Every structure is written in C-alpha cells, then in structure tokens.
Homo-oligomer: A and B are copies of this chain.
Amino acid sequence: MSTMEPRRRIPAAERRESILAAASIVFGERGYAGATTDQIATAAGISQAYVVRAFGSKETLFVEVARRAVMRIEAAFRAAVAATDGGRTVQQRLGAAYIDLIADRGILLSLLHIFSLGHDAAIGPVGRSGFMRIYRLLRDEAGLSPEDASHFLAEGMLINTVLALQLHDTGDPDALELVTQACGGDLGKFRSLAAAADG
C-alpha cells in the first residue's frame, strides 16, 4: 500500500474471532478444499501468512469453524427449548431458531460442507460427532421422538441445500415456491441474505 494507514493492532483473541468469522463465510461458499487461506485472509483484512500462523493449519481452522458452528446451533436450540413461548410447540420454536441462524451467513453452509466430508480421515469424525450431538439434543433435551427428530433434521438439510444453491434469488417462481415451503413461509431471513451476497 502506498497510502499506508496507521494499521490498527488488534489483540490476538479478537483477531482470531474475525478470522473465524471470515473463514466461516469463505468455507461456506467454497467448501474446505475449494477455499484458500488467502481468500480467508483477504476477507479478514490481513495477510495469508497470519491466518495460517494464527491457527497452525488450514485444517485446524476449518475444524474450529465447525466446532463453533455446532455450538451456535446447540445454543440456539437450547434457548428455543427453554423458552416458554405461549402457544407455540417445541418444534415451532426450534424451527424458528434454525431459520434465525440463516442471518449469520456461513454457519449453515459451513456445516453443510463439513457434513459432506465424512470420507475424510481428519474431518469426518468432527462432522459425525457434531451431527450426532445435534440429533441427541433434539431427542433428549427437546424431547422429540426419533421420528420427529429425524423429520426436523431433514427439513434443516433441505434448508441448507436451498440456501447453498441460492434458490432464493433466482427469478424462477418454482424455486420461490419451494423455498417458501422449505422455510415454512418465513422468507424474511432469505431476503436479507440476498442483499448481502457480493463475495
């Protein structure tokens, strides 16, 4: 840079968070193998070398993104279970909580990619354990039957897919119909996402 700004120095812990946020988006868009540490660095506004050094390796960073994403979902679901919302069922509260997560671009898409890499020796176990943690939470803490928990997960996977395919901002009316159906009519979160898509 010729016009060198003072270049703010930021505490390592805080910097790690911004790297994780950037990585979540980039991994969500391109997948683990498809994303580069340089793309993540650019998104985070730092150099490629710093991204690698901050987490040791690309793989470690990805695993940490996955861990955080699962934790975010767990927290959202626990809050939904605990909420004593008047007339709404647990399923409805859980569904709304999941839809709310769409707003945080990257979480659901990163998970989608993690879940697709079960074959990988290093990442596979992380995906499996994260997925099963969520299943057990639905069954044991939310009190859903195996059947209901399975159905709920299925709807979630469809939302992930529709989100990844970006069906929400095509002009296709059939796609809109499907997206509407998939998210239970609540298109608000998808719309806000279309505005933010410029990576």
Copies of this chain: 2
Stretch of A43-51, A76-84, A168-176 that contacts chain B = A168-176
- Known A132-B174, A175-B128; judge A118-B150 contact (CB<8 A): no
- Known A146-B181, A154-B155, A157-B158; judge A165-B131 contact (CB<8 A): yes
Partner of A164, one of B31, B109, B115: B115
Give A167's nearest chain B residue, CB to CB: B128
Q: Is the CB of B33 within 8 A of A31?
A: yes
Partner of A31, one of B29, B117, B182, B199: B117
Bound CA span A78–B185, Å? 29
Give A116's nearest chain B residue, CB to CB: B164
For residue A115, which residues in chain B have a CB less than 8 angstroms away from its CB? 161, 164-165
Give A178's nearest chain B residue, CB to CB: B135
For residue A199, which residues in chain B have a CB less than 8 angstroms away from its CB? 119
A positions within 8 Å CB-CB of B = 29-34, 109, 112-113, 115-120, 124, 127-128, 131-132, 135-136, 139, 146-147, 149-151, 153-155, 157-158, 160-161, 164-167, 170, 172, 174-175, 177-178, 181-182, 199
